[in-house]
Amino acid sequence: MAAKGIAFLFPGQGSQTVGMGADIYEQSPAARQVFERADQALGMALSTLCFQGPEEQLRETINAQPAIVTVSLALLAALQERLASHFSWSSPLTPTFTAGHSVGEYAALVAAGALDLEDAVRLVRERGRLMHHEGSVCPGGMAAVIGLDEATLQEICQEASQEATREGAAAQSHPDHPGWGKVSVANLNAPGQIVISGEQRALALAMERAKARGAKRVIPLAVSGAFHSPVMEPAAAGLAQALATTPLRHAAIPIISNIEARPLTEAEALRQELARQIVAPVQWVRSVEYLATAGVSVYLEIGPGSVLTGLVKRIARDATTLTISNANELDKAVTALREQGLLQL
C-alpha cells in the first residue's frame, strides 16, 4: 500500500536511553528478530545494553550509534508486522520518502532497501569507533546555539577558527591534524537552533563570541568529539574504506540527503553521502522544507525519543507529526494513520 505524502524519519545520536526497545521486543516477533540479527552481526549483546544499560556504556559513541539504529528498525518492523501480520521494511505502509538525522540516515537506508540490517549495524559501529578516535586525537565538542541565524554563526566560526589558529602558531602548538583550530556550523536543526562543532579551543572561542553577539542560549552538548566538522576528516576517510567493501543497492524509496537536502536513490551517491556526512553539516531545515514542498504532510518519527517531530513542527508548522518510540505509541500511531486515511485496514 503506497502512502502518499508520508515520510519516515529516524533519529540520531543523543536520543538513546536505557530501556529503549524492551517493550517492543517483548510484544513483537518481528522486532525481536531485528534485535537478534543485530546482536549476531556485532557479536555482542547489543539488545541487553539497550534494555538494561549501564547508561555510561550505552552513551559511548561506538555503542549508541548501532543501538539507536537497531531500536529504530525494530520499531519499524513492529509497525509493518502490526499492519500485515508479516514483516517487510516498506510494506504495507510505504513512505514517499525516508530521512534520518546523522546516524539515523543508516536506518533510513535500510528502510528504503538500500542496505541490509547486518551491514548497517556493523557500519555504524565502525563509524562510532572512528568518530570517537578522532575525538581523542583532536579533542573537541559541540554546542547548540539558540537565537542566532546561520550567516552570523558562519561568521563567528570563521573568526574563532582564525583566532585559535593564530594562538596556536604563537604558542608553537599546532598539531598535525586537519581539524586543529577549526570550528564550524554542524547541524541546522530548526530556525534559531543551530549546532556548532570544532576543536576545543576554537569551539570555546566561538561560544564566547556567540554569547557576545546576542545568542539567547549556548548549550554544550554531551558528545565525545567534534562531529560534523573538519575534526572528522580522518574518520571520513576510514569510513569510506569500510563503505567500499559494503554492499549497497539503489534505494527503492528516495532518501533525503543530510548534506544536500535532496533525494538520493543511486547506490554510489549514497556511498559518497555516508562517507562525507560525518564531516559536513546536517541540513535538517532544508530537508524538511524539501519534503513539505514535495507534498509530504505526515511525518512519522520511528525510533527512541521525539526530537525530530519537535523540529519538524518548527519548520513546517502545518505538518502532522507522529512518533513511534515504544509499544504504546505504536498503537496510537496506527490509529492516527487510519484517521489520516493512510491505512485501509
The yes-or-no answer on residue 91 being catalytic is: no
- As a whole number of angstroms, the distance between CA 335 and CA 209 comes to 48
The yes-or-no answer on residue 228 being catalytic is: yes
Three-state SS at 320: strand
Question: Which residue(s) pair with 260 in the sheet?
Answer: none
Three-state SS at 186: strand
Question: CB burial class (10 A; 0-12, 13-18, 19+) of residue 172?
Answer: exposed
Task: Supply angle C-alpha 2, 3, 8, rounded to 5.
Answer: 115
Longest C-alpha distance within the chain, in Å? 69
Contact 79, 335 (CB under 8 A): no
Q: What share of the chain is helix, strand, coil (3-state, %, to 5)?
A: 50, 15, 35
Residues 6+ apart with CB under 8 A from 184: 157, 161, 196, 197, 198, 228, 229, 230, 281
- As a whole number of angstroms, the distance between CA 278 and CA 274 comes to 7
Classify the C-alpha dihedral 296-299-302-307 as positive or negative. positive
Query: Per the residue annotation, which of 28, 72, 102, 184 is the catalytic one?
Result: 102
Phi, psi of 238 (to 5 degrees): -65, -40
The cell numbers describing 62, all together, are 561506538
Query: Per the residue annotation, which of 47, 224, 228, 257 is the catalytic one?
Result: 228
Contact 302, 324 (CB under 8 A): yes
Residues in the chain: 345
* Residue 92 DSSP label: S
Classify the C-alpha dihedral 270-274-280-281 as positive or negative. positive
Classify the C-alpha dihedral 69-72-78-82 as positive or negative. negative
List, by residue number, the catalytic residues.
102, 228
